[in-house]
Amino acid sequence: MKVLANDGLTQSGVDALRNNGFQVITDKVAQEDLITYINANQVTVLLVRSATKVTKEMIDSCPTMEIIGRGGVGMDNIEVAYAREKGKHVINTPAASSESVAELVFAHLFSGCRFLQDANRQMPVKGNTEFAKLKKKYEAGIELRGKTIGIVGIGRIGQEVARIALGLGMKVIASDTRIGKASVRVDFYNSQYINVEIETEPLEQLIQHSDFITLHVPAQNGPIIGKAELDKMKPGAAIVNCARGGVIDENALIEALDSGKLAFAGLDVFENEPTPSDQILTHPKISLTPHTGAATEEAQDRIGTELANQIASILLVK
């Protein structure tokens, strides 16, 4: 049986599949050629990340394709309900990249709190001529300890964010339309740990009380953080989006940053991905990454082996 990993797969995942007798193809096939390629090569399993789209046409046109796998959490690039209706297995790896995304949230928070996103642009060109001026510009940083972080969406990734925040001495509040209470375990050395219960609250309340807001929600039909929500945030607060592009109104965000209402923002995802607006890309108060939340070596290894195990459990027990 053939597995096409069209958006790539780690060597650990490839090895796990091959050890179970699968032929793994890691060649990148253009979107417009996928149907022809899958049929010509009788591909049984199609693995994708965010780049490849699995459409209704593809599902209808590829009878040999039994499994569609998404390396990661979100599956908005796959017609999931339609595929399952047509008898296809649709799998993903919701837990594999939680730690990686959560750590990137704090990379953006630390960056914004200490002006790293701007200092890293200015120091190479002005560091040896305007050192004292830059030192003055960036010396009013703030600490995370003791501040309140509001987590919008307290699922797997949100709970990982909470775990790190608690370890940093932050106050953690959360809002979620589906979860009323989350129990977060914080581990220490010598097998010691504590469990912290976090009861969720309405989004409007979280917005008003948070020093920092981080979003961990699936793709939405429109922004959940727009001008009205940004206006209700604390003066000098900040926001991070490592979830999905479009959940923040970027025009309203720029306005809030320019007015000084918000201190900074951190963005890993964008409304117009993969072509973010110039206003976003050049703004000195925005810390930027190109949708790399799950892109750590450890996460990719977990994703690859988890997909391989799921595929084997489906196809090898027939």
- Catalytically active residues are 244, 273, 291
Angstrom CA distances, 249 to 100, 217, 227, 230, 253, stand at 25, 15, 7, 9, 6
> In Å, how far are 13, 86, 282 from 25, measured between CA atoms?
12, 24, 39
Burial class of 191 by CB neighbour count within 10 A (0 to 12, 13 to 18, 19+):
exposed
Q: Tell me, rounded to whole angstroms, the distance of Cα 36 from its chain centroid.
A: 31
Per DSSP, the residues of 36-76 read HHHHHHTEEEEEE-SSS-B-HHHHHH-TT--EEEESSS--T
Cα 131 off chain centre by: 36
Alpha-carbon distances of 203 from 110, 158, 181, rounded to whole Å: 24, 14, 14
Name residue 167's amino acid: G
Whole-number Cα distances in Å, 212 to 116, 249, 265: 17, 17, 9
Q: What is the bridge-based pairing of β-strands 89-92 and 193-199? A: unpaired
- Tokens for 214, please give them: 């981080």
**C-alpha span between 84 and 253 (Å, rounded):** 38
Are the beta carbons of 280 and 286 closer than 8 angstroms? Answer: yes
Q: How far apart are CA 212 and CA 46, in angstroms?
A: 39
**Nearest to 213, CA basis, from 196, 201, 197:** 201
What's the CA gap between 170 and 173, in Å, rounded? 10
